[in-house]
Chain A
Amino acid sequence: MLHFLRRRFLFFFFTYLVSSLTIFFLLRILPGDPARVIAGGREATEEQVAQIRVELGLDASLPQQYLTWAADFIRGDWGDTIAFRGALNRDLIIERSVNSARLAAVALLMSAPLSLALGVIAGLFENKLPDILISLLTLSVVSLPEFVTGLFLINIVALRWGRGELAQSLGWWFPSSSAVPANASFAEMLPALWLPAFAATLVLLAYISRLTRAGVIEELKRDYVRTAALKGIPWRTVIWRHVLRNALLPTITVIAISISWLVSGLVVIEYVFGFPGLGSLLIAAIERRDLLLVQAIAMVTVTVILFANLFADAAYALLNPRVELS
């Protein structure tokens, strides 16, 4: 157990090191001068480029630059933005991260129960009609690119339904754009969150339900299930008390891993709905060539994903003492 956690921590730090090196060197070893790109490309004068080079410490050796950059990141000194003049990268990223986290939380609250239920049903009826229907659903509608489902939701739910008489009389409609002020409170933001969160739910649905289905099927084939059934325990009790208990334990890990999927999905969904989250900030930062902001966003994202995975593995190990080192 302790051995497992120690190995897991070691892997965490190694992964963190490799991904931060990747993010750092991606923006350094590529042909071209980062100082010139930051200064504004070919139009920048030599003095401007030289000044930025000194400011960013680009005149030092590469390993030294990496260490300075990593230390600055840990201390929270992520530089000034170029894309959004006058703001600090850190403030901007924290504000947008909070928004993305709200969206992700609503999406997880919607998708986790739904996809677990679908996965369990599909698993219990392996290769029967409910399973085929669910797999058809997850393979088709749900596997569409996020921007297709997002636009579909905007056009059908927000525009058509929202203008219908029923929606007007109920006073229940969804805004077609989620471009709320970035510093709005959660309550102010909530009406704008439903549709993008639903689009994100679809992203997770296929993934979580498929893995849950596999878990249930695997568990049903175990010897203890047969023993329990032969002992005369009602099938219903076998399912609820034994199978689901064991099959749903790994889904903690599944949901944590799906955070990585969610991050990719949210970039597109935030862009489609105009939601002021970290994903739309990333796209804006890349479009405006703000390399430091891009680096900081990438590092924050990787940090979130790695911590989610670490906590999931630790929680799983604590809940399931049989977990072994492999």
Chain B
Amino acid sequence: MRLIADSRHYAAFERLARSQLRHPQSAVGTLLVAVFLILALFGPQLAPHPNPNDQSHDVRRPPTLDLGRLHLGEHPFGTDRLGRDVYSRVILGAGSIFQIAGLGTLISVALGSALGLFMGYQGGWVDEIIGRIIDALLAIPALLLALVLIGIIRNLDFDAGSWQAALADNVILLVISLLYIPIVARVARSTTLDIKTREFVEAAQIRGESQPYIIFREILPSVIPSLVVEASLRFSYAIFLVASLGFLGFGARPPSPDWGLMVNENRGGFYQLTPWALEFPALAIAILVIAVNLMSDGIRRAVQKGS
């Protein structure tokens, strides 16, 4: 029994991989995301200067990167005005953006799909009320809600070590999860409504299976494809949001090597002095966002074709 389930999962994965490879743009996107993931996981080992705030270098050194000769040099992306190696900071910055966007996606998909499955299966007035509230909440622009929430939570004074303080430290993760739970719930709900009427669900109901059993063992497997698509879409929006919040000064705090923050710290008058300190993190954001978009577009296409 276990074996059959595993081989079915493997077949779905293989179909996805094949489809990604057939479309060059999806293959490139997936490959780039994998490269960034490696940077995120092994950043401290890969960066020549593992301390992002190592100020022991000469200040404002131009990049030594030579693409023609494939030569990195001492400071491939130059140093910023404080004498920090931009190359190391860009590598080290991959970790936080993946961690926040990835965890935020996982939390919102887990909780959102649970809520959506429950709403869709339950139906009736519970579904109607929660559904209308979700519709109404989605009328408020996500960025506005995020800025207001982060602004308020950050300005509150908490005693160090309390659970509120721990919450405030992870406020961006919290906000991303909160923003995306209703969106995921809506997708899971509409798919559940469709699956609920199938014969195998009716059969389980007649067999007298419990409600959790029907929701998780009978309905969930059929909802997973649309959840995978939604998760990849949420991940790309989360990356976008984390970068934007960092840039607006509502994300990581200095001196963290957050890409958005690095872009913000080096714009304006500093741009003329050290353009590379802004351009390389901006380029990293640009490539990651495009890569994640191409990958999730490929996943969507593969899943829609498969079903």
Per DSSP, are chain B's interface residues mostly helix, strand or loop, or mixed? helix
Q: Judge whether B297 and A139 touch: CB under 8 Å.
A: yes
Interface: A322 (CB within 8 A): no
Mask, B244-274, CB within 8 Å of A = 1, is: 1001111000000000100100010001000
Contact of A15 among B139, B141, B153 (CB under 8 A): B139
**Set of chain A residues within 8 Å of B135, measured between Cβ atoms:** 11, 15
Offer 14 A-B interface pairs, CB within 8 angstroms, sorted by A: A18-B132, A27-B148, A41-B155, A145-B240, A147-B244, A264-B141, A283-B147, A286-B151, A289-B155, A298-B140, A302-B140, A305-B141, A306-B139, A309-B139
CA distance A237 to B25 in the complex (A): 35
The answer to whether B271 and A155 touch across the interface, beta carbons within 8 angstroms, is yes
The distance from the CB of B210 to the nearest CB of chain A, in whole angstroms, is 33
Q: Check B285 against A298 for contact (C-beta < 8 Å).
A: no
Are B137 and A136 touching (Cβ within 8 A)?
Answer: no
- In the bound assembly, the distance between CA atoms of A151 and B147 in angstroms comes to 21
Q: How far is the CB of A267 from chain B (nearest CB, A)?
A: 6
CB pair B290–A294 under 8 Å, yes or no, is no
**Contact across chains for A260 and B290 when beta carbons are under 8 A apart:** no
Q: How far is the CA of A147 from the CA of B278 in the complex (A)?
A: 12
B293–A140 contact, CB under 8 A?
A: yes
User: Inside 8 A of A267's CB, which chain B residues have their CB?
Assistant: 143-144, 147, 248
Contact between chains at B297 and A31 (CB < 8 Å): no
What count of chain B residues pass the 8 Å CB interface test? 44
What residues of A have a CB within 8 angstroms of the CB of B282 in the complex? 148, 151-152
Kindly supply a per-residue 1/0 record for chain A positions 6-38, scoring 1 wherever the CB is within 8 Å of any chain B CB and 0 otherwise: 000001001101110011001100111000010
Q: Give residues 143-194 of A contacting B (CB, 8 Å).
A: 143-148, 151-152, 155
With A31-B164, A144-B286, A145-B244 already in contact, the answer to whether A302 and B148 are too (CB < 8 A) is: no
A-B Cβ contacts below 8 A, count: 128
Cα distance A309–B263 when bound, in Å? 35
Do the beta carbons of B25 and A136 come within 8 Å of each other?
yes
Q: Do A298 and B148 touch (CB < 8 A)?
A: yes
Residue A207 is within 8 A (CB to CB) of chain B in the complex:
no
- In the complex, are the beta carbons of B289 and A143 less than 8 A apart? yes
| 18 additional A-B residue pairs with CB within 8 Å, beyond A11-B132, A15-B135, A18-B137 | A30-B152, A139-B297, A140-B293, A140-B294, A143-B290, A144-B285, A144-B289, A146-B244, A147-B260, A151-B267, A151-B278, A263-B144, A286-B148, A289-B155, A294-B148, A298-B148, A301-B144, A302-B139
| Residues on the B chain within 8 Å of A55, using CB | none
Expressed in whole angstroms, the Cα–Cα distance for A23 and B141 within the complex equals 12
Chain B residues proximal to chain A, CB less than 8 Å: 25, 132-133, 135-137, 139-144, 147-149, 151-153, 155-158, 164, 240, 243-244, 247-250, 260, 263, 267, 271, 275, 278, 282, 285-286, 289-290, 293-294, 297
Given known A155-B271, A264-B142, contact A26–B25 (CB-CB < 8 A): no
**Given that A136-B25, A260-B141, A302-B140 are known contacts, is A27 also in contact with B152, CB under 8 Å in the complex?**
yes
Chain A neighbourhood of B275, CB < 8 A: 155
What CA separation (Å) do A145 and B25 show in the bound complex?
Answer: 20
Closest to A139 in B: B293
Q: Taking the nearest CB of chain B, how far is it from the CB of A149, in angstroms?
A: 9
How many Å lie between the Cα of A141 and that of B156 in the bound state?
Answer: 38
